[in-house]
A and B are shown apart, each in its own frame.
Chain A
């Protein structure tokens, strides 16, 4: 009896499992089919609207009002489709086309909706709203995005920092500089990229970070300064190098000096090749010297080519080869 019950039970279990698996497979297929059908329907409905959005993007000053009016004349659901297309296209364009699409999106009242989205409970909606605010800019965008740089969700903070880089408003710079001082909050690479969008305004506010208490902040500021080239960059980098003790920061400063390529830096870098320095520092400085025009570094290379360290010798040997070919 026990044996029969066990066999029946096993068969029943197998049948239930087969039914469950079949249902899961059917459900998956159903979801995929429904999604494909929806996408095809959406593509079909968007097809006549897409040219209207393109016309806005390509309109000149005189033609822009009528191009925007053509979109505004659509029914509500088609206007939402136009908005989605405009948000997709605006990421790819700059200049007049971007301005035109921004005007279309503003006319559609997206600013108010994006602001609401940026305050939603769902972090995905907050991130989407923040991204749209950054794309369309204008008005009080920076004030609206600023609190989101302290959002509890890392992804929202990241999108907020990126959005501050997109919006063409220099009041974003102090907020981004503050974020550069919080390397645990948002990746310094993301913040630095956003600051590069405001390079002219950022320079003066980034250089003081070369003296921050946190070596990570000093290092990130050093790396960024090489790209924010302005009057005083070389002097500031060389001065920071003279007093800096952390090798990771010094190497970052060295790298930025190679980007700026000032002749005064050669002597500073040569001093870092002294035997008293760490091996990492000496190798970094020698590599930096090798990137300068060969005619500026003849003396330094003549010394370094006899160095006891193979990597230091290699750095200056690499530059010696093309120089010989030129001569």
Chain B
């Protein structure tokens, strides 16, 4: 089975690295982007099975990235990972086309479970260890 590819778009270097370490340990191939603009370009040009997306980033926000992706017909499952915890933020995330929503501070183990879950729902199998 082909390796599952995950794009992590997150401006916090620590969080980006932790997510990458966790996912790579579980057999995913991880590509990192540290701002929204780069993330959008990577998402459009690469083939990814899941995107982990922060909302508050310099330049283009995660919601703008998500809206642009969905507007372009990109249906890659997106898990939002953000410090925005208000109900209306969560609602806006799902309205923009997110498949799941994880708030910071986050549990890397829970994030992995959610990535596997959206992957399973989208028809792909979880990554092999």
User: Which residues of A line the B interface, CB within 8 A?
Assistant: 50, 54-55, 57-58, 85, 88-89, 91-98
Contact = CB atoms under 8 A, between A and B. Distances in A.
A53 B21 CA distance: 12
Contact of A94 (B12, B14, B17, B105): B105
7 contacts: A54-B21, A57-B18, A92-B15, A92-B104, A93-B105, A94-B110, A96-B109
A93 B108 CA distance: 7
Contacts of B21: 54-55, 58
A94 B107 contact: yes
Most buried by B among A57, A89, A92, A98: A92
Contacts of B25: 58
Interface of B: 12, 14-15, 17-18, 21-22, 25, 104-110
Given A54-B17, A54-B18, A92 B12 contact: yes
Contact of A89 (B14, B22, B110): B14
Contacts of A50: 17
Contacts of B110: 94-95
A97 B12 CA distance: 17
For the complex of A and B, the 5 pairs showing the least CB-CB separation, nearest first, are A95-B107, A94-B107, A94-B105, A58-B21, A89-B14
A95 B14 contact: no
Contacts of B18: 54, 57-58, 89, 92-93, 97
Contact of B107 (A54, A85, A93): A93
A259 to B, nearest CB: 10
Nearest to A98: B105
B107 A96 contact: yes
A92 B12 CA distance: 10
Nearest to B20: A54
Contact of A95 (B17, B104, B108): B108
Given A58-B21, A58-B22, A58-B25, A97 B107 contact: yes
A58 B104 CA distance: 16
B109 A95 contact: yes
A interface, over-half SS: helix
Nearest to B103: A94
Nearest to A57: B18
Nearest to A95: B107
A94 B106 CA distance: 5
B34 to A, nearest CB: 15
Given A54-B14, A85-B14, A92-B14, 15 more contacts: A50-B17, A54-B17, A54-B18, A58-B108, A91-B105, A92-B15, A93-B18, A93-B107, A93-B108, A94-B107, A95-B109, A95-B110, A96-B109, A97-B107, A97-B109
Nearest to B107: A95
A91 B109 CA distance: 16
A85 to B, nearest CB: 8
A88 B108 contact: no
A93 B17 contact: no
A88 B14 contact: yes
Nearest to A53: B14
A58 B108 CA distance: 8
Nearest to B105: A94
B107 A92 contact: no
B30 to A, nearest CB: 13
Most buried by A among B12, B14, B107: B14
B25 to A, nearest CB: 7
Contact of B108 (A55, A85, A97): A97
Contacts of B12: 92
A64 to B, nearest CB: 14
A67 to B, nearest CB: 12
A293 to B, nearest CB: 18
A89 B17 CA distance: 11
Most buried by A among B15, B105, B109: B105
A321 B56 CA distance: 34
